[in-house]
Amino acid sequence: MPQNLRLDPVDLEILRRLQNDARTTNRELAAGVGIAPSTCLDRVNRMREAGAILGHTLRVDPAMLGRPIQAFLAIQVQPHRRPLVEPLVAHILAQPETRAVYHLSGPDDFLALVAAEGVAALQRLVLDELTARSEVTRVQTMLVFQGWDGGPLLPPAPAGQPVP
């Protein structure tokens, strides 16, 4: 987000409401924050153009799509060099099970969230698509039993002030 974008309390409330329900109409959003619909639309467009709002997503239950097994895969590579990152990430993202990939610091180099049809499909992904690559030296599989989403992401409160 550019440093020149200043978010006032109304902007923060707009962001909070949109993060809780991105399908909220502009009219409902404007009424909820106490401003005119045209003003609300201008504020949302300004935040979108500045990069504060990155897009809208639809969350789908992987189990309902036949992928009930979710896991995090902690991946170590050798050598851990820049030319390796992009092709490896592209390969991981090309797998239909992949939901997200993160490049990390620490003992693991990448963390991938995957959703598989079953244990055999998860094993195939790990053995045939990941550890079969020469740069992948280790994959640790951590099954997800249950997950929870956090609340809206808002900037930290100034020192000494409570979080809204």
Ordered per-residue pLDDT tens for the chain, 164 residues: 445 789 999 999 999 999 999 999 999 999 999 999 999 999 999 999 999 999 988 889 999 999 999 999 999 999 999 999 999 999 999 999 999 999 999 999 999 999 999 999 999 999 999 999 999 999 999 999 999 989 889 888 776 666 55
Question: Is 36 a domain residue?
Answer: yes
The pLDDT score that the predictor gives to residue 154 is: 86
Question: Which two tokens mark 56?
Answer: 């809208």
The CATH number for 125's domain is 3.30.70.920
Range of the domain at 46: 9-50
Please tell me what DSSP assigns to residue 155: P
pLDDT of residue 162: 64
Q: Rounded to whole angstroms, how far apart are CA atoms 112 and 141?
A: 10
Both 139 and 72 in a single domain? yes
Within a domain: residue 160?
Answer: no
Per the domain annotation, does 161 fall within a domain?
no
- Strands of the sheet with 69-77, listed across from one edge: 98-103, 110-116, 69-77, 136-143
Question: Half-sphere exposure (CA, 13 Å, Cβ side) for 43?
Answer: 22
CATH number at residue 15: 1.10.10.10
Q: Tell me how far apart the alpha carbons of residues 28 and 52 are, in angstroms, rounded to a whole number.
A: 21
Residue 122 forms part of a structural domain: yes
Is 68 a member of any domain? yes
Number of structural domains the chain divides into: 2
Assess if residue 4 is contained within a domain: no
Residue 86 has φ and ψ, to the nearest 5°, of: -60, -50
Helix spans in the chain (H): 9-20, 26-33, 37-50, 82-94, 119-124
Q: Would residue 164 count as lying in a domain?
A: no
Q: Answer whether residue 157 is part of any domain.
A: no
What pLDDT shows up at residue 11? 96
